[in-house]
């Protein structure tokens, strides 16, 4: 009878459902959406409506193929994409059916599985997730204790190295064994740090983001019963942005897909630009080889850009020699304006030219928010920032500090983490003296000594001291140590006693008062003259409480089912912490998806622009040794990825594209010759033979000899 709850509403006719879903799709899109149940590779060019195809395909599976939503898994790379997908599917199939669907990021799916099978995965229930700041703090602590003189790499760099090792399935011992085969250098030190880091994470019952994936893969490989359960659950798996998957994510996909499961992957090898962090577009080729009878469908009708922009993009990417197949984008928005190429005598001239052009567009009635300046490297932004300021042109920078990365928010979350996981030393040590309680480094050092002696966490060590004193222990050093850390323990214990008595948002507000964080940051704001400012730290803490309240509302209104997050029946606070950590840290680092609500020019790296579009795009610094980078000269592999990066930049433009370069550029106080990118030279050389060129060169001499 339970399965009846998941049955579809009494259907209109199947024919009507089909017509409604396929309406306004082009032929290639219809082919992908209405395909029989089968494995599919959809190669979706820039601006060809891949999200619409994915949503329509899932709707087709539910409404036409009668696949139960709970038997469908849709995997994306960002929480925003997953949320958008669920919302759009809900509009077609209804909110109730949409809620049965698994539509999550890789990390979220893995978290759900690990929450279900924590003991089988070697974890204790209630484990917490390390955000990037906590991960770096933990490594910094380990380095200070283990290798105080090791200065070759920063903690954040070692954290990145450990993540890469995990993504390539190297555990600490595997890496130690590998290092023995290498020359004795800093690899050996990294292996020691990795081993200690791995051990501390086990002790603290915490996982980082790469660990979520690696531990899930290990769980599925080792436990046949759990693997078979997933095979019986999921009949259709769909993966977005497949060109950005790494080796570990591909292995996860293969383990989740059973013999009776059909897999659809959507991606574009021409937009694979994250090779430097492990993404491997050749997974698209592996997919065709590893899965049976894969149907390949190409989407090449572009709904974003004018044809002149697409002609430049097509010409640019055609030079790559590692494409899966030739794909020529055709537009639906007419020929449009020619691409303007600014040949600038210097970088100063470039910033001035672009700024004046932006000013001119705005004077003609165009909005600043419809314009974007894209650059290969962050250092290129400074000149444009200064020039835009001089012209009184507002701008926003993408990639700035995000809300959940701010110090006051991290402090608040650390207190909450301690309350759900008393073994989380990384969180405890962050806030044990915040606000200041005269708990200095020496006190922490003495506490850590007890931790090592008793093999316990910081909080448990303080509890042991409390018991010792209560039972009449009189050793002076221990009594003195307890008096110093007693205020912290009393705060934690009082909050634990109140945790279940209040709604979660009210409890968080109470926590901010009891811990003294409100007062502490009020004083900081006052010193900086930010008492009433919108960007004050106290305002941010208030926004956190509001965010928790929004979570409480959505949590209370959720539709329960066996596929719901397992935290639902455990601890709302743990669920909240997991959700916001995934949302704030698991997103791609170069994700520029924050919406610009102000009327301001968008400034970002080309990497950040992936997935975005703008009416007017200024692709600046299009020069040799910038785009492509110097590294690209070392191999065809790097050169091809740089060309794909340029292609992504070009295809962000809808109405008008401006490309600029300088013949000489100043860097580190020196002025050096520059000149047009070889990619640009290729385009001009090839398209100059066209009767109607899609570009025009402005302000300059010919850009190639």
Between CA 399 and CA 704 the distance in angstroms is 35
Catalytic residue among 208, 241, 311, 425: 241
Catalytic residue among 29, 50, 235, 484: 50
Catalytic residue among 249, 271, 575, 624: 271
Active site residue 241: yes
Between CA 114 and CA 263 the distance in angstroms is 23
Active site residue 51: yes
Q: Helix, strand or coil for residue 598?
A: coil
**Residue 246's closest CA among 283, 279, 284, 213?**
279
Q: Helix, strand or coil for residue 128?
A: strand
Reading phi first (left if > 0) and then psi (alpha if -120 to 50, else beta), residue 481 is in alpha
What DSSP line would sit under 226-240, residue for residue?
Answer: HHHHHHHH-SEEEES
Between CA 107 and CA 565 the distance in angstroms is 13
Active site residue 131: no
Using alpha carbons only, give the angle 604, 83, 28 rounded to the nearest 5 degrees: 85
Q: Is 532 exposed, middle or buried (0-12, 13-18, 19+ CB in 10 A)?
A: exposed
Catalytic residue among 51, 164, 203, 686: 51
Between CA 167 and CA 160 the distance in angstroms is 11
Between CA 658 and CA 697 the distance in angstroms is 10
Active site residue 264: no
Catalytic residue among 537, 652, 663, 665: 652
**Dihedral, CA of residue 425, residue 430, residue 435 and residue 439, to nearest 10:** 60
Query: What does each C-alpha distance from 346 to 381, 525, 675 come to in angstroms?
Result: 15, 42, 9
Active site residue 240: yes
Strand positions, DSSP E, 492-574? none
Q: Which uninterrupted H or E stretch holds 299? A: strand 295-299
Active site residue 243: no
Between CA 572 and CA 499 the distance in angstroms is 11
Catalytic residue among 240, 244, 347, 525: 240
Longest CA–CA span in the chain (Å) reads 96
Residues serving a catalytic function are: 50-51, 240-241, 271, 652
């Amino acid at each position: 009878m339970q399965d009846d709850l998941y049955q579809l509403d009494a259907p209109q006719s199947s024919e009507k459902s089909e017509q409604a879903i396929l309406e306004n799709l082009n032929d290639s899109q219809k082919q992908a959406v209405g395909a029989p149940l089968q494995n599919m590779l959809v190669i979706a060019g820039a601006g060809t409506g891949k999200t619409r195809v994915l949503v329509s395909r899932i709707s087709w599976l539910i409404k036409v193929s009668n696949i139960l939503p709970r038997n469908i898994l849709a995997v994306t790379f960002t929480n925003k994409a997953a949320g958008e997908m669920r919302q759009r599917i809900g509009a077609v199939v209804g909110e109730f059916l949409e809620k049965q669907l698994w539509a999550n990021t890789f990390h979220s799916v893995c978290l759900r599985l690990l929450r279900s099978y924590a003991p089988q995965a070697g974890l204790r229930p209630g484990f917490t997730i390390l955000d990037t700041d906590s991960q770096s703090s933990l490594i910094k602590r380990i380095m200070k204790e283990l290798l105080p003189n090791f200065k070759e790499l920063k903690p954040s760099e070692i954290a990145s190295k450990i993540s890469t090792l995990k993504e390539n399935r190297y555990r600490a011992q595997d890496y130690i064994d590998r290092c023995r085969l290498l020359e004795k250098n800093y690899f050996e030190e990294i292996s020691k740090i990795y081993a200690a880091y791995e051990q501390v994470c086990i002790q603290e019952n915490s996982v980082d983001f790469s660990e979520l994936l690696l531990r899930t893969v290990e769980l599925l490989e080792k436990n046949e019963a759990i693997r078979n359960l997933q095979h019986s659950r999921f009949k259709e798996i769909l993966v977005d942005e497949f060109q950005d998957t790494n080796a570990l994510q591909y292995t996860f996909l293969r383990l989740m897909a059973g013999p009776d499961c059909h897999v659809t992957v959507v991606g574009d090898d021409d937009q694979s630009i994250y090779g430097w962090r492990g993404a491997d577009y050749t997974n698209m080729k592996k997919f065709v080889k590893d899965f049976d009878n894969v149907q390949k469908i190409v989407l090449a009708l572009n709904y974003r850009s004018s044809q002149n922009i697409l002609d430049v993009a097509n010409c640019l990417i055609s030079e790559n020699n590692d494409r899966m197949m030739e794909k020529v984008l055709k537009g639906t928005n007419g020929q449009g304006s020619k691409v303007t190429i600014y040949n600038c005598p210097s970088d100063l001239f470039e910033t001035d030219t672009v700024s004046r052009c932006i000013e001119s567009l705005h004077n003609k009635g165009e909005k600043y928010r419809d314009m974007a300046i894209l650059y290969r490297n962050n250092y290129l932004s400074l000149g444009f920032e200064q020039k835009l300021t001089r012209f009184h042109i507002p701008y926003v920078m993408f990639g700035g500090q995000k809300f959940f990365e701010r110090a006051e928010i991290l402090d608040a979350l650390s207190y909450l983490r301690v309350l759900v996981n008393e073994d989380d030393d990384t969180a405890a040590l962050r806030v044990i003296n915040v606000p200041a309680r005269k708990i200095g480094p020496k006190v922490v050092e003495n506490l850590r000594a007890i931790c090592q002696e008793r093999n316990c966490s910081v909080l448990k060590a303080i509890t042991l001291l409390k018991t010792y004193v209560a039972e009449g222990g009189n050793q002076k050093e221990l009594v003195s140590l307890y008096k110093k850390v007693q205020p912290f323990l009393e705060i934690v214990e009082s909050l634990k006693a109140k945790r279940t008595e209040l709604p979660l948002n009210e409890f968080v507000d109470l926590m901010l008062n009891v811990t003294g964080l409100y007062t502490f940051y009020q004083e900081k704001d006052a010193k900086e003259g930010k008492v009433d400012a919108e960007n004050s730290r106290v305002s941010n803490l208030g926004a956190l409480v509001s965010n928790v309240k929004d979570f409480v509302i959505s949590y209370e209104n959720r539709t329960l089912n066996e596929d719901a997050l397992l935290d639902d029946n455990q601890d709302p606070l743990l669920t909240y912490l997991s959700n916001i950590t995934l949302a704030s840290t698991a997103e791609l680092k170069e994700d520029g998806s924050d919406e610009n609500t102000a009327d301001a020019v968008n400034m970002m790296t080309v990497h950040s622009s992936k997935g975005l579009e703008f009416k007017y795009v200024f692709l600046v610094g299009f020069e040799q040794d910038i785009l492509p980078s110097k590294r690209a000269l070392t191999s065809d592999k790097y050169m091809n990825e740089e060309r794909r990066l340029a292609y992504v930049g070009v295809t962000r433009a809808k109405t008008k594209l401006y490309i600029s370069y300088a013949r000489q550029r100043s860097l580190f106080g020196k002025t050096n010759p520059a000149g047009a990118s070889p990619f640009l030279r290729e385009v001009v050389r090839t398209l100059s033979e066209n009767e109607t060129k899609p570009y025009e060169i402005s302000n300059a001499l010919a850009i190639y000899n």
